[in-house]
Amino acid sequence: MINKSIFFFALLLAVFTSCSDHHSSKKANKNLVSFDLDSIKKRGRLIAVTDFNSTDYFIYKGEPMGFNYELLKTFCDNIGIDLEIITENRIDQAVGMLNSGEADLLTFNLTENSSGKKDMLFTSPIYETRKVLVQRKPNNWRSLSSDELEKKVIRNQSMLARKTIYVQEGSSNAEQLSSLARNIGDSINMIEVPFNPEKLIQHVASGEIEYTVCDENVALVNATYYPEIDVSTPLSLAWDIAWGIRKNSSADLLSELNRWITKYKETESYALLYAKYFKNSRSIFIVKSDLYALNTGKVSKYDDMIRQFSGIINWDWRLLASLIYQESHFNAKIESYTGAFGLMQIMPGTGKNFGIDITSSPENNLKAGILYINWLYSIFDPKVPDEKERINFILAAYNAGPGHVLDAMKLAEKNGMNPQKWDGNVAKWLLKKSEPQYYNDTVVKSGYFRGTESVNFVSQVLERFEHYKNIIPDEKIRPF
């Protein structure tokens, strides 16, 4: 008899904590609500709510990945805007974010039977797949022949009568089971729970529940992680999978999405992207890796050290981790052509100024980087009072050196812009420091500078930080 006590405890815990799940909405009171493509472009970013799992959106080796994530990124790049992602695995909550204006686009894998369909317009299909039953093979399945195994698992849909099947609440999987019960003329004990299909597959694999329902392409991927599950019993014909927007969104947003989706699906890039996440046998190595953040919360093998050192500068450790990824991809031995070395790409001379040999160990390299950031704080603390804004200046100075950033602040002030604001103000003037009329200005002390890399550095570190916050639980900073 299957022991379900662990599953029921997890279920109670999920219900109890559903309102405070760290993956859910960042803020429910966003003031800017965009209903059309022009206003989204004016804002400069598309806000999409998506779920997180091993195919759609996850962090691996410090890098955001996933089929939906890469599709969204490609679409945003195509129309020249940034992407902001909100994570939420509960369908009803995600639909609520869409309809409240907190998000512009819902990028769950939706079908026409999905929860909230009356409140959404669907895009052109992203792909198509069918629903399948996920069941556990018998304990001795490895010793069984194919014919013997077929007799031990459910293949006929009528055999589901009076079986207990767990599905994600509000999902099209629940709708499919209800329809199936009508077709077989008998009852199915369907239990809707606040777990996504991938989590339910894990519970089937562990024996905590007996059955669930899942999209076939996702089920096949998970079957590589859990060879003890069987996903070969179809429960439906192929369904179109699409994204959703609000019904009161303007026609141009839906038209642009449909135009791009239809065109992009014809490209080799789309075929390769689909194969990367749904037909890649190496996916198992990602999910089993210690650096698959959905399971472990880790982005690198240096996370514990990063957590400790982040307390010295009172940073969220995930921000420091994002900075280190940007500098070195967590490679402690990397050396740039200029001589910058290690995790934080510190110059040897900078390390010597702090009495540290930056090449002696990753810990010393990190310590030198932290002391350098502290020094930058001593420069910008008096000049930029807003803490959030100050981070932009610190990051820019980490990349460019403080002199060029101070020059850009002076140029901004001289030209009637805010020297304490980064975006659209000081960032703009850092970019202009490559033009003679500006780097020769009398307020400029550090001369010519090509600011593109530094402006991009700031945005990329902060963008990755948001991805880390989406996936990795918040933890209290633990200073020395």
* pLDDT computed for residue 22 by the predictor: 44
DSSP 126-159: SEEEEEEEEEEPPTTGGGS-HHHHHHHS--SGGG
Instruction: Please give the average per-residue pLDDT across 452-471, as a whole number.
Output: 97
Side-chain-side CA neighbours of 212 within 13 Å: the count stands at: 29
Residue pair 205/226 in contact (Cβ under 8 Å)? The answer is yes
* pLDDT computed for residue 35 by the predictor: 62
Q: CATH says 129-240 is which class? A: alpha beta
* pLDDT computed for residue 19 by the predictor: 44
Could you check whether 5-127+241-294 and 129-240 share the same CATH topology? yes
* pLDDT computed for residue 119 by the predictor: 75
DSSP 3-state of 335 = strand
Residue pair 339/330 in contact (Cβ under 8 Å)? The answer is no
* pLDDT computed for residue 9 by the predictor: 55
Residue 72 phi/psi, 5° resolution?
-60, -45
Over the range 212-243, which residues count as b (16 or more CB within 10 Å of their CB) and which as e?
Answer: bbbbbbbbbbbbebbeebbbbbebbeebebbb
If you ran DSSP here, which 8-state letter would residue 474 be given? P
* pLDDT computed for residue 28 by the predictor: 42
Q: pLDDT of 162-203, one tens digit each?
A: 999 999 988 888 888 888 999 888 999 999 999 999 999 999
* pLDDT computed for residue 108 by the predictor: 87
* pLDDT computed for residue 27 by the predictor: 45
* pLDDT computed for residue 6 by the predictor: 56
Q: pLDDT of 3-31, one tens digit each?
A: 565 565 556 555 544 444 444 444 444 44
**What does CATH list as the number for 5-127+241-294?**
3.40.190.10
- Is 1.20.1560.10 the CATH classification of the domain at 303-471? no
For residue 382, give both structure tokens: 């008096």
First to last CA, the chain: 50
* Beta strands 127-136 and 211-215, pairing class: antiparallel
Residue pair 224/284 in contact (Cβ under 8 Å)? The answer is yes
For residue 461, give both structure tokens: 């570190």
Question: Where along the chain do its domains lie?
Answer: 5-127+241-294, 129-240, 303-471
* pLDDT computed for residue 11 by the predictor: 61
The pTM is what? Answer: 0.89
How many CB atoms are closer than 10 A to CB 465?
22
Q: pLDDT of 107-126, one tens digit each?
A: 988 887 665 567 789 999 99
Q: How far is 195 from 170, CA to CA, in rounded Å?
A: 11
Q: pLDDT of 207-234, one tens digit each?
A: 999 999 999 999 999 999 999 999 999 9
